[in-house]
A and B are shown apart, each in its own frame.
Chain A
Amino acid sequence: MKYNDVILQTVTKFISFLIFLFAIYIFFNGHQEPGGGFIGGLMTSAALVLLLLAFDMETVRRAMPIDYKTMIAIGLVFGVGTGVGSFFFSTPFLSQTFGYFHFPVLGELELTTTLAFDLGVYLTVVGATMTIIQTIGEDK
């Protein structure tokens, strides 16, 4: 039997884009509304998994040549880095702070150091889940 996944592939192209956007939205908005690095990361992974299911490993890899193992490392560097950064201000490890800044187009925004930490969480979660799924999926 020959499978025909035209519908799945067409929908996926559109849907996965939306999921990515929503994941990014949820990541940035995490400090005030439900969301954050962990959920954002998982949602991004879900979108990637959807792509993997609709197309195949090789296609997705060519479209997005990302080494997820490196992504874990970068994520952890962000995590540890924000912690170590506290030392330069003579505060204990992983002290976080925040402030309000005015931006030209966006208006006044709150910026937090936790965002950098959360980015570390985001990258590690995406990296870890995708490393596992890719490795097991590729194994024959």
Chain B
Amino acid sequence: MFTILHLAIIAPFLAAVLVPLLYKFIPRIHTGWFVLIVPIVLFSYFLTYLPDVSGTGSVIKTFEWIPSLGINYVAYVDGLGLLFALLITGIGALVVLYSIYYLNKHKEQLNNFYTYLMLFMGAMLGLTLSDNLIVLYTFWEITSISSFLLISYWYTKEKSRYGALKSLLITFIGGFALLVGFVLIASVTGTYSIRGILDASDQLAASPLFLPAMLLILLGAFTKSAQFPFHIWLPDAMEAPTPVSAYLHSATMVKAGIYLVARLTPLFAVSAYWFWLVTGFGLLTLIWGSLSAIRQTDLKGILAYSTVSQLGMILSMLGAGAAALHYDSVDNNAYTVAVAAAIFHLINHATYKGSLFMMAGIIDHETGTRDIRRLGGLMTLMPISFTIAVIGSFSMAGLPPFNGFLSKEMFFMSMVEITHFSQYGMGSIGLLLPIVAWTASIFTFVYCMILVFRTFTGKLQEEKLPAKPHEAPFGMLLAPLILVALVVVFGFFPNTLVPAIIEPAMASIMPELAQTGSFGVDIYFWHRFSTELFMTIGVVLLGTIIFLVLQKWSSIYAVFPDNRLFNQTYNRFLEGIERTSYTVISWHMTGLVRDYFIYIFSFTVVLLLFSLFGTGAFAIDTANMVPVTPYEAVLSLVLVGSSLILMFTRSRLKAVISLGVLGYTVALFFVLFRAPDLALTQLTIETVSVTLFLLCFYHFPQIFDALKETKFHAANLVISVAVGLTVTLIGLSASGTRLFPAISDYFLENSYKEAGGNNVVNVILVDFRGFDTLLEILVLGIASLGVYSLIKLRLAGGENK
């Protein structure tokens, strides 16, 4: 049944259809105000699901889409799906609110912007609330496409187009891998339903396809979530308008990969590869991202690399959480804290990173630049933005009393805890995990400080700013203020989230453990003097020192390889592909019709002759043949004669006439064989096409003079003789072979009975084979429109550059 839940998921798509109309017909009101209704209503609607998913609950609504093929649209809301749905609609609402003030209704193409944004929102909801892997994959690709469209929103800018294409190519490569991975999984488990697959996880674990499927799916998740070394698309995606960066490239879309990893954790957690890949790449991305962020001078660049780094951190926690699934029960299971931390940090990251992106947008909007070398001293001019920046950055740095401190502590805790784990070949190499985590956190602290202090303290350099700085309008500040309020609220009352969202989401990631009891997550500030606390103190101390002496040691960066390496690889790869495909294509696509005919005919002859003789279908049966009458003999001679004239004549008019003779002779054959319909059709077609030829030849250059010098091509003769032979042989075999009773008897019998028509040919055309005819007239229509657009819309000379 089609329920409100299904409607809620496709509601953004419906809104996307309406947006251009609203933009066109109500230009006085900023289109964003209408759009804002959608995420707010959806957010409120999804809030009502909170009681349903508490504990291990879930809601399944099935809409039978094509029941005869067993294709259903199954909407599946559980803790994890609902968490994402709330994130998508909640942050979505704030971003839309923010964009109303960010995008000028007179200057910007709001219809494009909000259509793409709604497209994205719908795709993201569909992705997270679907039970079917193929549906998930489809929505996954739609998010990539809408991201592409939004990054290239200011498509006149070269860098926007470059960034858009880069993100599209990288995420599509991953998306394709994902599809293959899904197909592999389904080939083992026999179902595309996620719930069904999780039930059959033992079956998959025993299969040789387990590892390939896992690697392919991880490739998809890593490209989407901008994990090292695929992270290079995210900084370039910052060319998008800031609301888009805040929404897609920090809070939601890039977390689709995390969603997938979380969703499939029960399936793959048994494998040590899963643990090492997810945790390893997560930590590598964490440290690489934080190191890269420090050297950025663009506010959004810092935030982009910081997003890369934080995504790596969430993934590493999910990877470490996989260890929890090796236990039968939640009791004494220290590793569940990693999963709790991952989910908690996911929420926290959305709040503080969203507010920071919006803050960066405000700075850009009000001062005209995002370059921290030109910024400074804005604290007194923009006090509210400064507050937002301080709360957001300090939370990201992991300082109390904000929510980032809590999840950072839990992160350290889980990284320390995982070293005690006995499986996965942990050993002494496991010690590396907390060390990397800790080191990366120091650099995280450093770039958070850069973000705040380089922008807001120091000397104001007003002469370097394109605009006179002042505080943003209240409407623009509202969305980031709500987010930082959440940062503080979640900091002080984290446990309100636990039963409502975190534990249900954990239950989705660890379904079997959830059956054994409550996870008992309790988040609090004071951890006594534990390892985690000392780690945090160390981070703050060392981080402060590094930040203060940053100028002195930043030169050592020149020694290390940086992101240019990956960007160059990507660029070379693209260039290589372009060059290779150009070479390959220009080798065989010569632009000459006769060359194409050679390809087509050679392939036809080879394929047909091969299958004719290869399958032993060649047979000549003279039993059913009738003797040739004088009329037929004469007509055949005319046919051969006119085609010979056609070939050897040097006059264009003669060619047209002999072609006409050819066609009319065929029509006469139809008359002789008592096929009036065919004869009529052939006659009229011939008439019309002779006219067409005359019209066309009017435009042709005098090519016949040139033909006089044309050399004789033996290859062409061979091909044309072969084509003639092939057709003749097939014709003979067709009449000589009768494997099945002819279908014509059926048509003759039923034409009047079933379709009320005596003219069998017409009944076949419009009734028995109506679909064929429908497609034929469609092709006819397309062809004529093609001719029309080729001729009418062709560019004037010199314009096609």
Binding site for B on A (CB under 8 A): 26, 30-39, 42-43, 45-46, 49, 53, 69, 72-73, 75-76, 79-80, 83, 93-94, 96, 98, 110, 112, 114, 117-118, 120-121, 124-125, 127-129, 131-133, 135-137, 139
Task: Please choose the segment from B351-359, B468-476, B622-630, B750-758 that sits at the chain A interface, where 4 or more of its residues have CB less than 8 A away.
Answer: B750-758
B774 part of interface (Cβ distance < 8 Å): yes
State whether A39 touches B777 (Cβ < 8 A).
Answer: no
State whether B756 touches A46 (Cβ < 8 A).
Answer: no
Contacts A80-B774, A125-B777, A128-B780 known; A34 to B677 CB distance under 8 Å?
yes
State whether A133 touches B781 (Cβ < 8 A).
Answer: no
Which residues of chain B are near A46, meaning CB under 8 Å? 684, 687-688
State whether B770 touches A117 (Cβ < 8 A).
Answer: yes
Question: How many whole Å from A62's CB to the nearest CB in chain B?
Answer: 20
B762 part of interface (Cβ distance < 8 Å): yes
State whether A31 touches B788 (Cβ < 8 A).
Answer: no
State whether B681 touches A32 (Cβ < 8 A).
Answer: no
Question: How many whole Å from B669's CB to the nearest CB in chain A?
Answer: 16
Cα distance A125–B756 when bound, in Å? Answer: 24
A32 contacts which of B757, B781, B784, B792 (Cβ < 8 Å)?
B757
Cα distance A37–B777 when bound, in Å? Answer: 11
State whether B757 touches A135 (Cβ < 8 A).
Answer: no
A136 contacts which of B680, B687, B696, B766 (Cβ < 8 Å)?
B696
Q: Which residue in chain A gives the minimum CB-CB distance to B788?
A: A135
A31 contacts which of B695, B763, B778, B780 (Cβ < 8 Å)?
B763
State whether A35 touches B770 (Cβ < 8 A).
Answer: no
Which residues of chain A are near B684, meaning CB under 8 Å? 39, 42-43, 45-46
Q: Which residue in chain B gives the minimum CB-CB distance to A23?
A: B684
State whether A129 touches B781 (Cβ < 8 A).
Answer: no
Contacts A39-B680, A133-B695 known; A69 to B771 CB distance under 8 Å?
no
Q: Which residue in chain B gives the minimum CB-CB distance to A80?
A: B774
Cα distance A135–B680 when bound, in Å? Answer: 26
A49 contacts which of B687, B758, B773, B774 (Cβ < 8 Å)?
B687
State whether B774 touches A83 (Cβ < 8 A).
Answer: yes
State whether B681 touches A135 (Cβ < 8 A).
Answer: no
B611 part of interface (Cβ distance < 8 Å): no
Which residues of chain B are near A98, meaning CB under 8 Å? 755-757
State whether A42 touches B777 (Cβ < 8 A).
Answer: no
Which residues of chain A are near B677, meaning CB under 8 Å? 34-36, 39
Which residues of chain B are near A69, meaning CB under 8 Å? 784-785, 788
A96 contacts which of B699, B755, B791 (Cβ < 8 Å)?
B755
Which residues of chain B are near A117, meaning CB under 8 Å? 766, 770, 773-774
Cα distance A72–B787 when bound, in Å? Answer: 13
Chain B residues 780-801 with CB under 8 Å of chain A are 780-781, 783-785, 787-788, 791-792
Question: How many whole Å from B426's CB to the nearest CB in chain A?
Answer: 61
Cα distance A1–B612 when bound, in Å? Answer: 58
Question: How many whole Å from B68's CB to the nearest CB in chain A?
Answer: 10
Which residues of chain A are near B766, meaning CB under 8 Å? 31, 36-37, 96, 114, 117-118, 121
State whether B755 touches A112 (Cβ < 8 A).
Answer: yes
Number of A-B pairs, beta carbon distance below 8 Å? 146
Cα distance A121–B765 when bound, in Å? Answer: 10
State whether B759 touches A30 (Cβ < 8 A).
Answer: yes
Binding site for A on B (CB under 8 A): 676-677, 680-681, 684-685, 687-688, 691-692, 695-696, 699, 755-759, 761-763, 765-767, 770-771, 773-774, 777-778, 780-781, 783-785, 787-788, 791-792
B788 contacts which of A96, A112, A131 (Cβ < 8 Å)?
A131
Q: A98-B756, A114-B755, A117-B774 are in contact. List 7 more A-B contacts (CB 8 A).
A: A31-B759, A37-B765, A38-B765, A114-B757, A128-B777, A132-B787, A136-B699
Which residues of chain A are near B761, meaning CB under 8 Å? 34, 36
State whether B767 touches A36 (Cβ < 8 A).
Answer: no
Question: How many whole Å from B321's CB to the nearest CB in chain A?
Answer: 50
Cα distance A103–B696 when bound, in Å? Answer: 48
Cα distance A112–B687 when bound, in Å? Answer: 30
Instruction: Provide 9 A-B residue pairs closer than 8 Å at the C-beta atoms, listed in order of the A residue.
Output: A46-B684, A49-B688, A69-B784, A94-B770, A129-B688, A133-B692, A133-B695, A136-B695, A136-B787
Cα distance A34–B759 when bound, in Å? Answer: 6
Cα distance A137–B692 when bound, in Å? Answer: 8
Question: How many whole Å from B512's CB to the nearest CB in chain A?
Answer: 46
Question: How many whole Å from B795's CB to the nearest CB in chain A?
Answer: 14
Q: Which residue in chain B gives the minimum CB-CB distance to A19?
A: B684
Which residues of chain A are near B756, meaning CB under 8 Å? 31, 98, 110, 112
Cα distance A38–B777 when bound, in Å? Answer: 9
Which residues of chain A are near B788, meaning CB under 8 Å? 69, 131-132, 135
Q: Which residue in chain A gives the minimum CB-CB distance to B694?
A: A53
Which residues of chain B are near A121, meaning CB under 8 Å? 765-766, 773, 777
Cα distance A31–B695 when bound, in Å? Answer: 34
State whether B781 touches A35 (Cβ < 8 A).
Answer: no
Cα distance A43–B767 when bound, in Å? Answer: 22
Q: Which residue in chain A gives the minimum CB-CB distance to B751?
A: A31
State whether B784 touches A39 (Cβ < 8 A).
Answer: no
A127 contacts which of B676, B692, B759, B781 (Cβ < 8 Å)?
B781
Which residues of chain B are near A34, meaning CB under 8 Å? 676-677, 680, 759, 761
B762 contacts which of A30, A75, A79, A139 (Cβ < 8 Å)?
A30
B759 contacts which of A32, A128, A133 (Cβ < 8 Å)?
A32
Question: How many whole Å from A4's CB to the nearest CB in chain B?
Answer: 20
State whether A124 touches B791 (Cβ < 8 A).
Answer: no
Cα distance A34–B671 when bound, in Å? Answer: 12
Cα distance A75–B691 when bound, in Å? Answer: 24
Q: Which residue in chain A gives the minimum CB-CB distance to B675?
A: A34
B691 contacts which of A53, A127, A128 (Cβ < 8 Å)?
A53
Cα distance A38–B687 when bound, in Å? Answer: 14
Which residues of chain A are near B681, meaning CB under 8 Å? 38-39, 42
Contacts A42-B685, A131-B785 known; A76 to B757 CB distance under 8 Å?
no
Cα distance A72–B677 when bound, in Å? Answer: 23
Which residues of chain B are near A76, meaning CB under 8 Å? 777-778, 781
Cα distance A46–B759 when bound, in Å? Answer: 23
Cα distance A33–B677 when bound, in Å? Answer: 9
Cα distance A36–B766 when bound, in Å? Answer: 9
Q: Which residue in chain B gives the minimum CB-CB distance to A29?
A: B759
Question: How many whole Å from A140's CB to the nearest CB in chain B?
Answer: 9
State whether B767 touches A75 (Cβ < 8 A).
Answer: no
Which residues of chain A are near B780, meaning CB under 8 Å? 72, 124-125, 128
Which residues of chain B are near A137, meaning CB under 8 Å? 695
Cα distance A32–B699 when bound, in Å? Answer: 43
Which residues of chain A are near B777, meaning CB under 8 Å? 75-76, 79, 120-121, 124-125, 128
Most buried by A among B677, B680, B777: B777
State whether A72 touches B781 (Cβ < 8 A).
Answer: yes
Question: How many whole Å from B313's CB to the nearest CB in chain A?
Answer: 53
Q: Which residue in chain A gives the minimum CB-CB distance to B676?
A: A34
Question: How many whole Å from B209's CB to the nearest CB in chain A?
Answer: 38
Question: How many whole Å from A2's CB to the nearest CB in chain B?
Answer: 20
Contacts A46-B687, A114-B767, A136-B696 known; A129 to B680 CB distance under 8 Å?
no
Which residues of chain B are near A45, meaning CB under 8 Å? 684, 688
Contacts A34-B676, A34-B680, A96-B770 known; A136 to B791 CB distance under 8 Å?
yes
State whether A94 touches B774 (Cβ < 8 A).
Answer: yes
Question: How many whole Å from A12's CB to the nearest CB in chain B?
Answer: 14
Question: How many whole Å from B106's CB to the nearest CB in chain A?
Answer: 36
Question: How many whole Å from B701's CB to the nearest CB in chain A?
Answer: 15
Cα distance A135–B681 when bound, in Å? Answer: 23
Which residues of chain A are near B792, meaning CB under 8 Å? 135
State whether A128 touches B770 (Cβ < 8 A).
Answer: no
B758 contacts which of A33, A37, A75, A93 (Cβ < 8 Å)?
A33
The 9 tightest CB contacts between A and B, nearest first, are A98-B756, A128-B784, A42-B684, A34-B676, A31-B757, A124-B777, A36-B762, A114-B766, A131-B784
Q: Which residue in chain B gives the minimum CB-CB distance to A110?
A: B756
Which residues of chain A are near B695, meaning CB under 8 Å? 133, 136-137
State whether A128 touches B774 (Cβ < 8 A).
Answer: no
Which residues of chain A are near B767, meaning CB under 8 Å? 96, 114
Which residues of chain B are near A80, meaning CB under 8 Å? 774
